[in-house]
């Protein structure tokens, strides 16, 4: 999986104020919708919240991978944000989250969804990779750090 196929510089935000899980998901939805006009921010936010109700997407080590299927999405789309202050995300290790990597897939992309999610989780479980993401101080530096998964 190539991270650059999921995110873009305009969907990569460094050091933003999250405040809460709900606010962070809203920020991700708005960031994606601003970059991809066919995606409605409110609908995306509702779907991300709906997915979180099924179980937290906080995978541990301060990482969350909010994800959902959505209409008007021609391929897998991602957005990456780091937060100035970690937030409670009901993660599996009970640690607060400061790195969120949202992932959207088309409604009918079932196996692609699972494969990309697994590859993304694998990259984010790498301590050196997480450290590079956290060390970034600008949107551009975060984007560049995200592209280097090994």
| Residues known to be catalytic | 67
- Which residues, in sequence order, are CB contacts of 120 under 8 Å at separation 6+? 1, 6, 65, 78, 101, 103
Which tokens sit at 24?
Answer: 């962070």
The answer to whether 98 and 65 are in contact (CB under 8 A) is no
Nearest CA among 75, 145, 88, 146 for reference residue 116 = 75
User: In b/e form, how buried is each residue of 29-55, taking b as 16+ CB within 10 angstroms?
Assistant: bebbbeebeebeeeebbebbbebbeee
């Amino acid at each position: 999986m190539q991270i650059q196929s999921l995110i873009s510089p305009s969907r990569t935000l460094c050091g933003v104020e999250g405040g809460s899980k709900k606010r962070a998901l809203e920020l991700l939805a708005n960031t994606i919708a601003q970059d991809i006009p066919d995606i409605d921010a409110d609908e995306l936010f509702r779907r991300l919240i709906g997915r979180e109700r099924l179980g937290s997407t906080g995978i541990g080590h301060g990482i969350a991978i909010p994800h959902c299927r959505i209409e008007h999405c021609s391929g897998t789309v991602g957005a990456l944000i780091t937060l100035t202050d970690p937030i409670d995300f009901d993660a599996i290790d009970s640690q607060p989250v400061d790195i969120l990597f949202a992932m959207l897939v088309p409604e009918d992309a079932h196996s692609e969804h699972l494969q990309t999610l697994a590859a993304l989780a694998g990259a984010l479980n790498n301590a050196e990779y997480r450290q590079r993401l956290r060390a970034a101080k600008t949107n551009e530096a975060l984007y560049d750090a995200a592209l280097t998964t090994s």
